[in-house]
């Protein structure tokens, strides 16, 4: 299947030409994200309605927002709050472009919104090693430190699922609710190919990690808590690197190809399911694993 096949059969009927062109646009998007040619048919089954209705959805969003339209040529962050309840519709109509949008008028603020993927392991892996060394210095035996590290990774997978499902996909309608959601996760769904806004900036990750560290300190011992927290951070590093790879890598093995399809289902078919990134484990436990042939896009 190629672009020629996608274009063949374009109608001369003006009434249907728009939908035909939308199918070509849909093909281009599928081509960008698919891991191989067999995926084209798989994703096309579920994307047609979503993308053919995209323009209508945007019009509805503007109507609900009483005529407010986001100007993509201006910094976005302080605009999206004005969409009100239409924000939910707007943020899930993706703009598939490798060029990321401008977030802030301030160059300083703009700088802190962009992070290259390799910054995540560069910043956090040395800190994780230090945390484990603290546990060892406090008397934790190496086998127990390894268990605490593994336990932290497992805890992270549940945190990953919980944060993604209940925080990153919470519905907002207030000005500041929409603004914060867009900064936290909405921007990723709106601009899924933006390489510099896919992983968490270290400052944001550090802030979000504070309650996790506090909980570990309260529920664990002084010896175990650092290694356990280090394991959770290691799980986070794996999450962010895996997430980047699923969007911009070319998986060759069956397992990674399946993981990429599973994540793309979440982005472009059933956004109310498939919240795991590094693993579908908790989606299966909590019954939010998307059906293989899911063909509708849910908000």
Q: In the structure encoding, which two tokens stand for residue 145, read together?
A: 């430190």
Tell me which residue of 86, 299, 280, 277 sits closest to 164, measured CA to CA: 277
Q: In the structure encoding, which two tokens stand for residue 203, read together?
A: 């400052």
Q: How far apart are CA 187 and CA 19, in angstroms?
A: 27
Tell me which residue of 170, 178, 183, 184 sits closest to 68, measured CA to CA: 178
Q: Residue 244 in contact with residue 279, Cβ under 8 Å?
A: no
Phi, psi of 127 (to 5 degrees): -65, -40
Residues in the chain: 299
Q: Is the pTM of this model over 0.95?
A: no
Q: How far is CA 15 from CA 20, 26, 213, 232, in A?
A: 10, 19, 59, 55
Listed in sequence order, the DSSP H helices in 93-201 are: 107-111, 119-137, 142-162, 175-181, 187-190
- E strands of the chain, at which residues? none
What DSSP designation does 195 have? G
Taking each helix axis from N to C end, the angle separating 38-52 and 54-64, rounded to the nearest 10 degrees, works out to 30
* Domain spans in the chain, listed from the N-terminal domain onward: 3-285
pLDDT of residue 67: 62
Q: How far is CA 263 from CA 37, 45, 141, 156, in A?
A: 17, 16, 38, 18
- pLDDT per residue as tens digits for the range 235-289: 999 999 999 999 999 888 888 888 998 898 888 888 889 999 998 999 999 999 9
Q: How far apart are CA 220 and CA 61, in angstroms?
A: 48
Phi, psi of 21 (to 5 degrees): -65, -35
Q: In the structure encoding, which two tokens stand for residue 91, read together?
A: 């943020």
Residue pointed to by tokens 């059969």: 9
Give pLDDT tens digits along the chain (299 positions): 444 444 444 444 444 444 444 444 444 444 445 544 444 444 444 443 444 344 444 444 443 455 678 998 999 999 999 999 999 989 988 887 778 899 999 999 999 999 999 999 999 999 999 999 999 999 999 999 999 999 999 999 999 999 999 999 999 999 999 999 999 999 999 999 899 999 999 999 999 999 999 999 999 999 999 999 999 999 999 999 999 999 999 888 888 888 998 898 888 888 889 999 998 999 999 999 987 654 444 44
CA 266 to chain CA mean position, Å: 9
Q: How far apart are CA 256 and CA 252, in angstroms?
A: 7
């Amino acid at each position: 299947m190629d672009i020629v096949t996608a274009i063949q059969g374009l109608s001369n009927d003006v009434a249907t030409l728009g939908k035909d062109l939308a199918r070509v646009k849909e093909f281009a998007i599928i081509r960008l994200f698919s891991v191989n040619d067999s995926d084209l048919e798989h994703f096309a089954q579920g994307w047609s309605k979503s993308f053919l209705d995209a323009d209508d959805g945007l019009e509805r969003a503007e109507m609900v927002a009483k005529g407010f339209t986001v100007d993509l040529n201006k910094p976005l962050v302080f605009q999206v709050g004005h969409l009100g309840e239409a924000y939910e519709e707007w943020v899930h109509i993706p703009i598939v472009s490798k060029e990321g949008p401008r977030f802030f008028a301030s160059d300083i603020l703009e700088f802190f919104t962009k992070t290259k993927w390799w910054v995540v392991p560069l910043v956090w892996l040395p800190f994780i090693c230090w945390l484990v060394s603290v546990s060892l210095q406090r008397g934790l035996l190496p086998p127990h430190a390894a268990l605490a590290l593994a336990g932290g990774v497992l805890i992270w997978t549940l945190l990953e699922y919980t944060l993604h499902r209940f925080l990153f996909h919470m519905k907002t309608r207030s000005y500041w609710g929409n603004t914060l959601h867009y900064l936290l996760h909405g921007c990723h769904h709106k601009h899924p190919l933006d390489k510099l806004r896919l992983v968490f900036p270290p400052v944001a990750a550090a802030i979000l990690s504070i309650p996790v560290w506090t909980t570990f300190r309260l529920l664990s011992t002084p010896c175990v808590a650092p290694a356990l927290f280090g394991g959770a951070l290691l799980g986070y590093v794996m999450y962010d690197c895996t997430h980047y790879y699923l969007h911009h890598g070319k998986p060759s093995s069956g397992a990674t190809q399946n993981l990429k399809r599973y994540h793309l289902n979440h982005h472009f078919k059933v956004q109310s399911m498939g919240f795991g990134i590094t693993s579908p484990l908790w989606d299966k436990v909590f019954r939010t694993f998307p059906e293989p042939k899911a063909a509708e896009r849910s908000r």
